[in-house]
Each structure stands twice: as C-alpha cells, then as structure tokens.
Structure 1
Amino acid sequence: MELTEYADLDATALAALIRSGQVHPDEVARTAVAAMEAVQPKVNGLVDGPFERPLGHAADGPFAGVPFVIKDLIAHAAGVPTRSGTRLLGAGVPMPEDTLLMARFRRAGLATLGLTATPELGFNANTEAVATGSVRNPWDLDRSPGGSSGGSAALVAARALPVAHGNDGGGSIRIPAAACGLVGLKPSQGRVSPGPDYADPLLGLGIEFALTRTVRDCAGLLDAVHGSEPGDRYLLPGPVRPYADEVGAGSRPLRIALHTEPFSGNGSVDPRCVAAVESVGRALEGLGHVVERAAPSVDAAAFDDANLVAWCSFLADGIDTMCAALGIEAGPDSLEATTRACAELGRTLRAADIYAAERVFNTVRRSVASFHQTWDLVLTPTMNVPNTAAGYLNADDASLDARGWYDHIFSTAGFTALSNVTGNPAISLPLGSTEEGWPIGVQLVAPYADEATLIAIAADLERALPWADRRPPVVAG
C-alpha cells in the first residue's frame, strides 16, 4: 500500500479493503508505521512507538487491522507503560490489565501501534508537557494542536492515522478536534465505560472516546465501543438502530439554539469563530431547520468555582495516590508549577466543598435539561479562538495560582466544559476556516443520551459543507 493511498482513506474504507482481502493488515500496519515516522519529527505526537507490531486485537472486528493509537492518559493496555504526561512516573509504569475500553478497542479489531502525548495529567487546552515536549499543529507548526488529546489529534490531522483515542474532561476531545480540523465527539456520560479504575473520573466530567476525520468513522466506532460493563454506575438505553445508520438517514426537522457567548466567565470570542457559527446556522436553515438565538441559563461564576473544585480535587487525589503507590514524593523536579498549585488547592478542600460543587452541577444539569425540552440542539463555537500559539498555555508558569491557571485555560475554551458537567453529548466539526487556512471548529450539543440526533445532523453538515479535501501542510504522503 502506498503512503499517499493510505493517507486518503478513513478507518471505514481501510477496514473494507482489509476485509475484502485487497490489502493485508500487516501491510497496512507497515504503512501506518511509515506514516507516523514521517510526521513525528515535526508534530511530536507520539510518546511511545510506533510499535514494531500492533498490540493484540480481534481479526474479525468491524475495524480489524485499522491502525490506532491510545492517548497516554486514563485508558491503558496490559503491560504497556503509562506516563500520563508527567515526570512523576518517570519512564512509565506498566499496567497490569486493560481498561474496559481498551478491551473493546481490541475486540473492534483496532491495531494499536503507539501511545500519544498528553499535557501533564490532562489539565491543559494544549499539549506541551515538560516530560515529553511540545506537540505541534500540522496546520501550522507554530500553533498548538489543542489539548489535552493533542498528540492523537496531530497524528490524525496529519493523516498518519485515520482514528485515535482521546478523552474529554472539559473539552479535551473537542478542543483539539477544532484546532486540527477533525471530528471530535464527547459521548454522553455513561455511554462509554471508564472502568475498571474509575466509576466517575473527575467527578463524572471525564469521558472516553476518540478523534476521527469523518462522521461515519465516529459513528462506527461508537457502535463498536458503547455500552455499560458490570459494575458501571450508569445504564443508558442503547440506540434504536446502529449509530452508523444515522449517517445516511438524514436528520428530522430540528429546533436549534445558536449561541456565541462563552458559558465560562472568561475571555472574549474571536469574530471569526462567531462568523463560522453564524454561517453554519444559515446552512442549517437552508436544510429546513429552525435556528434562533437562545441559550440555557448558567451562572458562570458559580459554574467556574465548582469546576475548579472538581479539577483541583481530582489532581490532588491522583498525585497523592500515585505517590503512595510508588513510594515517591512530588516536587518541582517532577511536577509542573500549575499542577502543583492545583494539587495544593485540592488538598485544602473539604468534603463540604465537593458537595457544594455538586449542588452547582445539579442546578446546571437541570437548567440545561429544561432548555432541551424546547430546543433539540445548541450550536456554538467550539473554542473562543481558532487555535492558540505554541507556548501560550504554559503549565509550568510559576506566576499562576490554581485559579489563575484555570482562568487562563478557559479563556480560550469557554464553550466545552458545560457539556462535561451536564453529561450531554457534544461534537466539534471542522466547518469554518481562517484567512491563514486554519480550521475553525463548530460545536453541536444534544440532549443527554441523544447521540443519534447529533450524528445525523453532523453527517448532514458533512455533506452540505464538506471538509474531506482540506489537508494541512504537514501530512503523511
């Protein structure tokens, strides 16, 4: 298989070629390794690999033989060292077992060939950990690919891989999807199992899934990995029909609320991001939908205070748990400055502070759910800006305390964290572009557990405003 041919194919097309016998999975894996090696010196998306051979996977799964990588955070594979983007774990700690999602990736047939970069413990909207260096955006190597799933996003955008794992606690799938011109779905809370290590990572804000280049890959992969596992806290109703069927079905007439003011209380919005959303709104009206300006009521100050409590308590617990398990101590030589600041704040929090944050989250969830009784979807920018400069979100900036770091992150991403709190599914689509040629992500949010409507409308927009022919300057092949 030629590198140029490989780079043109999404996961669905590659799987079909392998299934039909037109190409052998070993040949596809070799080509994927060559593709990753070609772009890695420029984008620095990998922290381990490419492996000489893929990790074990089913030969009869729907994506059998399709090259894949996992983000080096939360999800992990048995025997493969994990680093979580931090010097605290040194060269990595081998994990004793697969996470339940990793087992589903294997059953889907995905051929895992490496681990991708994350910022330290995932708390950043770019991907420039001191431990692993700066990941760069293939659309412009002076720009960030976003975060925290920036390593995965950079490799998929550069067409070294058709699909890659990501996770999202405040926008960490959708932000890099927007910055890198990809499809980034954050499923509903409980749609994809976080087990066995977690029941509700990040007080329920953390969600696992993937980044893709096409809507059909997003839908097909969700079909392959969704569903609860024994011991999971949530049991969501399954889809009426496979998510892949929604891609060609077309959406029903919808009421869509257009909103361009951040839900977080930080930052202004780049006019180009506003214009992209308004343009998509007009396209949706042309497709027969009702689009009007409206938004759920959210107390931004209370929301931000509660979200900070969730993040800082999670970081403190994670760091202290790792240190206790490994018999080590954390300090400036092993943790970045803002990570230490957030963990220090987290250690001062009381149980009452956690319950107070959950009361805010409950109010927000009920407000948004009531809003969705009238509105089928909410249409917003994904980010406040198309992307950020490399180095702009410097997590090792000792001048920032925990709140200063939180405000700095969400001044660039004021639209995504709301859906982590509510648990609603949300997707970023590459529907706009700047004069520099950078992609602009547009976000759609659906009611809780309604990924079907989200995928159907995303597929309609992919047909109406196609992006398949857009390629970044750095691309495999």
Structure 2
Amino acid sequence: MANSPLAPLADRLRAVSGDLTRTVEKRLSDITERSASTHGFVSVDPELALRRARFLDSVPTDQRGRLHGLVLPIKDLMTVAGFPCSYGSVTRTEMPPETDLWAAQLLKAGIIIPGKTQTSEMGMTAYCEPVGMPAVANPLWPGRTPGGSSGGAAAAVALGLADVAHASDGGGSIRVPAAATGTVGVKPPHDSSGGSPTAQGFITRSVADAAFVFGVSPVRRSLRIGVLVEPLHGDGAVSPVMVSTVCTVADRLSDLGHRVHEVSRPYGERPFAAFADVLASRSIHIPGPASDIIEWLRERGSALSESRRAEAVADFDAVLQTILSAWDIDVLLSPTLAHDPPEIGHFSRLEPPENFAEQTRWTPWATLFNMTGGAAVNVPVAVAGRPPVGVQLGSVRASFGELLGVASQVHP
C-alpha cells in the first residue's frame, strides 16, 4: 500500500526510461484487471497511452523532459484532447477538442496519461459519488468513502496504479482524499485573491515524490509550529485518535528542534460563512441539470445580493491577514479529518443543507488554506492496530520548500 518504502521517483523513472512501452502495458494491465469502482479511473485509453510511450521512447536522451516517462492520470475536471471529460457526471460527458494548459505543461515535461480519474460532480463535494457512475471505493477502508473530490486520484495512488496523480483542491479536495486513503496530498501555494479557492496539485505516495514532481527542493530548518486540534470550522467533534496522532507528531517535531506550541482559533464564524457564500456564488455558473447538492448551492448563490457577494469576497480575502496577526508561527499542524471516513452514501443521503454541514464537520481545517492561498499537505502517520491517520501541515509564513521540508520529517 501507500506507506511501503520507495526509491526516489527520479531513480524509478531512470530505471524504466529505456522501455516505456512495457512499463505502460504493465500499468494498463494493473488498472483494467480491476473494476471501475475500485481502480479510481473513469476512462482509460490504452491506445493513446501506448502511442505516447512509443513516441517518448524515440525522443533523444538530451531532449527529454524532466518528467520523462512518468505515468500520471489527470483528474476528470481537466480537459485532455482524446479523452472524454465527464466532470463527475454521466450527463455532462463531452469530448473536448483541446488540452488544458496545465495538463499541456505536464505533457511537455514528458508524462504519459493513461486515463482520467474519477471525481465528484464538478468537484464540489468532499466525497466521490459521481452522478450515474460507480462510487469510488476506498482501498484502505472497504465500504467507506475515499473522500473527494479527488477520490479517484487518491484510490489509484493508494493501490499503486500510479506513483503520482493530478488532483485539484478548492476546499480540501486534494488533502481530504489523501487523508482518507493513507497517501500524501499537496495543495501548492496559489493566488487566492478575489475569492479564488482552487489550486492544482498532486497526490503521491511520499513527500519526496511530491517535491520531485513539483520541482521544489525541501528545506529543513527550525520552524515555529502552531498546533490546533479544535475544529476551525463547523460544529463537530474530533476523534481522540486524530488528536493523539497530532500530539505525537508535535512531540516528534519538537524533538527535531522545531519550536512547537498550541494555538487557538483565530476567528469566529464569519470567514467560513464567507467561504460558503463564495462557493455558492461560483456555483451559479454551473450549467445544466445537477444533483441535489449542486442545485442547492446554485439556488443559494442566486439568492445572494450583489452587496453580500462583494462582502463575502472581502471577508475571504481578509483571512490571510487575520491569521498572520493572530499566529506568530510559520506552519500550522492539525488533523486533516475530524474522524475516520464514513461509509459510502453517508453524505449524499442527507438533505443538502445538512450534507454541506456534515462535510464541514468532517473537514474543519482544510478550507483555511484555500482562503489564505498558503501551501498545505496531508501526510499519513502510522498508528498501531489501524490504518494511518492523516495530519495536515499548512504554511502560514513558511515557504513551499520549508513546508515540504517539515512534512518530510513526518513522512519521507
């Protein structure tokens, strides 16, 4: 599974660079021998993948990209020419003529796309039950959700079907499924100004792999680390195992020379109310028939006045300065999830307002870094007698390299 020791990704790529076709054939076989609900993919195209592998095998060594030969699936919210894009709903499936610029840059670096990984409808929920398609299974917790919206990416990496999978994060959608499946999920720093919560990132099997694919060198130095186990958003409770695991990690980091202390909630209910209204406002632009939760968000967004929308964006944008004023720290350490993953269907069976509130109770820390734009990473921590527990490290003042450096001290 995801926590087994691995050679550095750069070394693994060099080892297979001479025969990518065979490598891709093995990956495709591993994927297709599993059911659609298990492997995490919504579409796989062996012909495209093998054609790409043969092309890359022909590229002269001195002209190869940095990620030459990396088999890397793309989340099914991002368009890739030649692959259908379903946006988490069978009713939305289309064949896009062009490749998104972000995916195109990865292709330029030398990746091979075997297929698209499953997501929740329009990436709008913290679970992964796409409309009209099988719910994605959690390989770590049978019968339970793998989280979302990048649930397919997390499942694929947890199963070893990919070393790295593209994911996106507008409210925890990388870190939540990583925590639910025992993988590493990194939301990089992004410009969140103007109420922009979403960043593109990756789910991997190690922090070292994440650093490599981002092209960032981890920096290890003594940092000021704040510890918060109280829910930041919502009105839920936190499982004792989540609290104890964070405390164990805090002690380990203190022993390594970091200055660790507890911090308190820096604000009240207003910032998350702003996040919710920004999300609802953005949902207005989702076209066509939709599931109950999407329709509820659209209706909620449409009911907001222009003045409230502007106020929500201003409150959203003010969160960074609020936490900089409240916390004299470089990194925040918290649980990623308030409790273990619930069963598939737990959230979707609820009426939309309670569904949204329950998702918030499960993921009460994630959206902070979508509002501040700070980088944040989930790392799995081994706990005796049970699957690993995900802890979140988020940048308040630390650079991206410094954040990955401290994360690598928790999980290689």
Match of 1:27 in 2: 22
Tell me, yes or no, if structure 1 residue 263 matches structure 2 residue 218: no
Does residue 287 in structure 1 map to residue 256 in structure 2?
yes
Task: Answer whether contact 1:186 1:207 (CA < 8 A) is retained.
Answer: yes
Aligned to 1:84: 87
Aligned with 2:336 (options 382, 388, 392): 382
State how far apart, in whole Å, the 2-side matches of 1:448 and 1:221 are. 23
Partner of 1:362: 317
User: Partner residue of 1:141?
Assistant: 142
C-alpha spacing 1:201/1:148, structure 2 compared with 1 (3 Å): farther
Distance 2:146 2:72 in 1: 18
From the superposition, tell whether residues 295 and 378 of structure 1 become closer, same or farther in structure 2 (CA, over 3 Å).
farther
Give 4+ residue runs of structure 1 displaced > 4 Å after superposition.
6-10, 55-59
* 2:225 equivalent to 1:275: no
Q: Distance in 1 between matches of 2:142 and 2:387?
A: 11
Question: CA shift at 1:271, angstroms?
Answer: 0.7
- Do 2:68 and 2:111's aligned partners in 1 also have CA atoms closer than 8 Å? yes
Residue number among 3, 12, 19 corresponding to 1:14 in the alignment: 12
Q: Distance in 2 between matches of 1:67 and 1:7?
A: 19
Q: Quote how far apart the aligned CAs of 1:17 are.
A: 0.8
Q: Find the counterpart in structure 2 of residue 352 from structure 1.
A: 307
Q: Are 2:379 and 1:462 equivalent residues in the alignment?
A: no
State the Cα deviation string for residues 157-187 of structure 1 (Å, max 9, x = none): 0001111010001100000111111111111
Partners in 2 of 1:269 and 1:434 — Cα distance? 19
> SS of 2:202's equivalent?
strand
Q: Using the TM superposition, give the Cα deviation of residue 44 of structure 1 relative to its aligned residue in structure 2, in angstroms.
A: 4.4
Q: Which residue of 2 aligns with 1:220?
A: 212
User: Contact (CA 8 Å) 1:308, 1:406: kept in 2 or not?
Assistant: no
Alignment partner of 1:47: what SS? strand
Change (3 A) 1:186 1:304: same
Determine the structure 2 residue equivalent to 1:183. Answer: 184
- Deviation of residue 139 (structure 1)? 1.2
Encode CA deviations 1:267-287: one digit per residue, 9 max, x unaligned: 111111111100000100111
Distance 1:10-1:71 versus aligned 2 partners, 3 A rule: farther
2:309, 2:154 → 1: CA distance?
32
1:146-185 to structure 2, matched below 5 A, reads: 146-185=147-186
Q: Which residue matches 1:309? A: 277
Number of the residue aligned with 1:38: 33
TM norm structure 2: 0.91
CA apart distance, 1:143: 1.3
> Aligned AA for 1:382?
T
1: CA distance, partners of 2:198 / 2:155: 21
Distance 1:53 1:449 in 2: 41
- 1:331-350 mapped onto 2 (5 Å cutoff): 335-350=290-305
Contact 1:14 1:66 in 2 (8 A): no
Partner of 1:425: 375
* 3-state SS, counterpart of residue 203 of structure 1: coil
Equivalent position SS for 1:317: coil
Q: Which AA in structure 2 matches 1:186? A: K
The amino acid that maps onto 1:120 is: E
**1:210-233, Cα deviation, whole Å (9 max, x unpaired):** 10001121111112xxxxxxxxxx
Q: 2 CA distance for matches of 1:453 and 1:432?
A: 23
Is the CA contact 1:39–1:160 (under 8 Å) kept in the aligned structure 2? no
Three-state SS of the structure 2 residue aligned to 1:129 is coil
Q: What are the residue-to-residue correspondences of 1:194-273 with 2, within 5 Å?
A: 203-223=195-215, 243-244=216-217, 246=218, 251-273=220-242
Partner amino acid, structure 2, of 1:258 = V
**Equivalence for 1:64:** 68
Quote the residue 1:239 is aligned against: none
Report deviation, 1:81.
2.0
Alpha-carbon deviations, 1:356-402, whole Å to 9, x = none? 11121133221123345x211110000111322221121xx4x624x
In the alignment, is the contact (CA less than 8 A) between 2:194 and 2:317 conserved in 1? Answer: no
| Contact 2:230–2:265 (Cα < 8 Å) also in 1 | no
**Which letter does structure 1 place at the counterpart of 2:143?**
D
Q: Structure 2: how far apart are the matches of 1:255 and 1:448?
A: 9
Equivalent pair of 2:233/2:360 in contact (CA under 8 Å): yes
Change (3 A) 1:53 1:449: farther
**Paired AA for residue 94 in structure 1:** M
Q: Does 1:393 align with 2:347?
A: yes
> Aligned partners of 2:154 and 2:47: how far apart in 1?
22
What is the TM-score with the length of structure 1 in the denominator? Answer: 0.79
Deviation at 1:117, TM superposition (A): 0.7
Aligned residue for 2:377, secondary structure, equals strand
Distance 1:449 1:109 in 2: 30
| Stretch of structure 1 that moved more, 411-420 or 50-59 | 50-59
1:405 matched to 2:359: no
Residues 112 and 84 of structure 1, relative CA distance in 2, 3 Å threshold:
same
Distance of 2:144 and 2:26 partners within structure 1: 27
CA distance in structure 1 between the partners assigned to 2:186 and 2:152 by the alignment: 16
Displacement of 1:347 after TM fit? 1.7
The 3-state SS of whatever aligns with 2:113 is strand
Question: Hey, what's the Cα distance between the residues in 1 that align with 2:406 and 2:16?
Answer: 29
Taking the aligned partners of 1:295 and 1:175, their CA distance within structure 2 comes to 22
SS at match of 2:231: coil
1:384, 1:413 within 8 Å by CA — same for their partners in 2?
Answer: yes
Structure 2 Cα separation of the partners of residues 448 and 77 of structure 1: 35
Q: For 1:87 and 1:347, how far apart are their aligned partners in 2? A: 25
CA contact (8 A) 1:40 1:46 kept: no
Q: In the alignment, is residue 116 of structure 1 matched against residue 103 of structure 2? A: no
The whole-number CA distance in structure 2 between the counterparts of 1:267 and 1:114 is 37
Query: What is the rounded CA distance, in whole Å, between the counterparts of 2:175 and 2:384 in structure 1?
Result: 18
SS of alignment partner, residue 379 of structure 1: strand
Deviation, structure 1 residue 140 = 2.4
In structure 1, the gaps of 5 or more residues are 1-5, 191-199, 224-242, 324-329, 464-477
Identity, in percent, stands at: 28
How far apart, CA to CA, are the structure 1 residues paired with 2:11 and 2:133? Answer: 33
